Chain A
């Protein structure tokens, strides 16, 4: 199998606070994990790629100091949205690949719906 979990599934926070989202590969070791953001009726937008034990690679336009990514182990990556604003409200999805070669199928977590009030 290849199951990826995310926690929490939904979170509501106040503007200015920080929120941490966890992404776990439950039955495999994920060398590479990806973090996406998806706004309603839009495609997935890759935010960053993270490899275990190294710094994440952020896509152009994504603020690395605002979206902190930590890939502490082969089964866990976390995304922390710092000083959240209402415009950060979105559906955040992580995915993971099984092998070192990134040309593998990405297994997606169920997503986290973030609402910033």
Chain B
């Protein structure tokens, strides 16, 4: 079956760095997405990886290893507004997104 695993909750300190891991198993693979979702709001796009390696975009970076079925989202210089859920989603061979349950990130001052 198809499956996405990511931690349920993580806590980090303002100004620090946090890495949110995601492992996936899909029928075929057409890329890995990370979305941010604040409580009661719709997800907003953060990143898309389809090739192995690290993609950096400001304070956020995303890494992919297709051979390991693994990705991570790296958040630097954490701000209080980064408190949100972070959703990992892998696109399968039918271009369907398989969603993880999300990682709730709590930022403490």
Confirm or deny: A28 has a beta carbon within 8 angstroms of a beta carbon on chain B: no
Number of A residues whose C-beta is below 8 Å from B? Answer: 19
Confirm or deny: A93 has a beta carbon within 8 angstroms of a beta carbon on chain B: yes
- Name the one of B41, B48, B100, B101 contacting A105, with C-beta atoms under 8 angstroms: B48
Which residues of chain B have C-beta atoms less than 8 A from A103's C-beta?
30-31, 91, 95
Cα separation A2 to B103 with both chains bound (whole Å): 26
B99 engages A44 (CB within 8 Å): yes
Over the window 71-91 of chain B, the binary record of Cβ atoms lying under 8 Å from chain A Cβ atoms (1 yes, 0 no) is 000000000000000010101
Instruction: Given A107-B45, A108-B42, output 16 extra A-B contacts at Cβ < 8 Å.
Output: A43-B99, A44-B87, A44-B89, A46-B96, A46-B97, A49-B96, A101-B95, A103-B30, A103-B95, A105-B33, A105-B45, A106-B97, A110-B41, A110-B42, A111-B40, A113-B40
12 interchain pairs, CB-CB under 8 A: A43-B99, A46-B96, A46-B99, A101-B95, A103-B31, A105-B45, A105-B48, A108-B45, A109-B42, A110-B42, A111-B41, A113-B40
